[in-house]
Amino acid sequence: MNLQESIRRIIKEETEMLFFIFNPKTNKVIGFNLTYNSEEFNNIRYDENGRSRDYGFGPQKDDFGDTIKFDSLEDVQKWYSDKTEKHLQKQTQNQKYPDLSYIANSIRKIDGLDYQVINRGSCFKFAKEISKLGYNKFTFIFSEEEQEVIHVYVKLTNNLYFDANGFHTKKEIKNEYYVGEDTEMYESSIDELDNFSDLNTYECLTTIPISNDVWKKVIQIIKQSRMNLQENIRRIIKEETEGIDTFLDEISNKYDLSDELKTFIKEFIQDSNCKRINFSNFKIGALGMALESGVLINSKVLERPLPFMLFVILHEVAHQYQFKKYGVDVMYNCYLGDVSVKEAAEFMKTTEEVADEFASRKIRQLQKKGLIGSFTSPQVYKNMPLQNIIMMINNFKNDMKGQNIDSPKKVSEYFYNMVKSEL
């Protein structure tokens, strides 16, 4: 039985979920597993041909450390390409080097240039252009087998290097080139680079030359990187909220959203610095949950009228603005800090009331613009007795103590596990 057949069989029978197994080195799918139980999972792994394999590769985990399940090969392929794209995109960004971030990001968009080609022969020419921005340390990769230099990085710090793909740590480079086994890494100054980047050497080193027209565009981008630096910082460094597009698609599938409303929701979420957002099946009655690691909205909310659903999102995202404003230590102080339960409850009541007010103000704005219909925002926390919140916090604190929860990350995970249903 091969992989395709198995997948077809399982999907048809709908008896099991599929886990796909990845080679951590290449990140490609190399196998699958039919079982849900994690102990069995460790024992049974199959490759594409249905042969059992039992060595060092494993399933992929999400940000919360849970094993990722896929229903079909298409799902896994989409997930894989999103992840790769995200990773490649991330490689181009470093807040400390907005000029280089701009360059790495922009050369990927040059028509007619496979930017990775720059690394295969034109890396010397590229490094030479980068040196004109004032970067003057370089690191060469010398191949023992070929007895010649095969790549050059611009050296930024002892652990950060730059080439046409973007930024790399020393560890990444060592892994990529098997430094110490097949290659050596050594530092050099501009003089040695000049030898390699001079025209004759370039032509004999390059197996895939880049046309003059395309190269002009590369140089143009390098020059532009010195201008509009602030604009570049703003545009490139801003990180996307993970899952936001899927989240918006799920909303669009349920409601008739105008483009204006869709843009509003997207920007509102992005600007809160929310790391991740998604709909999820909850095992408790809550409508939503805002954590340091992102926002979860109960999928059930999608069955309610549009303004109500928006109110829930706005309320939870309001908490993300609070995380942005106060920082995680202040926000989780009620569980981790040295404050009385009463103080903690008062703080929580305030943040909840503020989130409610914030959300209802936004709802009114949207109504004024005619983007949503009539709706009166609930004021859930205003009328909630402090005593209830005190009890709730006490319960959480005791429970957390028993589980050795002593860091913001663990608090976040604790609540995540509390709401998220297994299926």
Interacting residues toward Zn ion by CB under 5 A: 352, 355
Using DSSP, state whether 28 is helix, strand or coil: coil
Shortest distance (Å) from residue 351 CB to Zn ion:
7
Shortest distance (Å) from residue 298 CB to Zn ion:
13
Choose between 103 and 297: whose C-beta lies nearer to Zn ion. 297
Handedness of CA 400, 411, 300, 345 (dihedral sign): positive
Shortest distance (Å) from residue 291 CB to Zn ion:
11
Shortest distance (Å) from residue 377 CB to Zn ion:
13
Phi–psi pair at 108, nearest 5 degrees: -65, -20
Choose between 154 and 313: whose C-beta lies nearer to Zn ion. 313
Structural element, H or E, at residue 107 = helix 98-107
Packing angle, helices 259-271 and 244-254, rounded to 10: 150
What is the rounded CA–CA span in Å between residue 99 and residue 117? Answer: 21
Residues 154-163: b if buried by 16+ CB within 10 A, e if exposed? bbbeeebbbb
Choose between 129 and 352: whose C-beta lies nearer to Zn ion. 352
Shortest distance (Å) from residue 301 CB to Zn ion:
14
Q: What is the largest CA-CA distance in the chain?
A: 81
Shortest distance (Å) from residue 402 CB to Zn ion:
25
What is the rounded CA–CA span in Å between residue 228 and residue 101? Answer: 13
**Location of structure tokens 């070929």:** 146
Shortest distance (Å) from residue 422 CB to Zn ion:
24
Structure token digits, residue 131 = 């040196």
Choose between 45 and 275: whose C-beta lies nearer to Zn ion. 275
Q: Of 231, 239, 203, 210, which Cα lies nearest the Cα of 93?
A: 239
Choose between 76 and 318: whose C-beta lies nearer to Zn ion. 318
Choose between 130 and 297: whose C-beta lies nearer to Zn ion. 297
Choose between 164 and 295: whose C-beta lies nearer to Zn ion. 295
Q: Are 150 and 142 in contact (CB under 8 A)?
A: yes
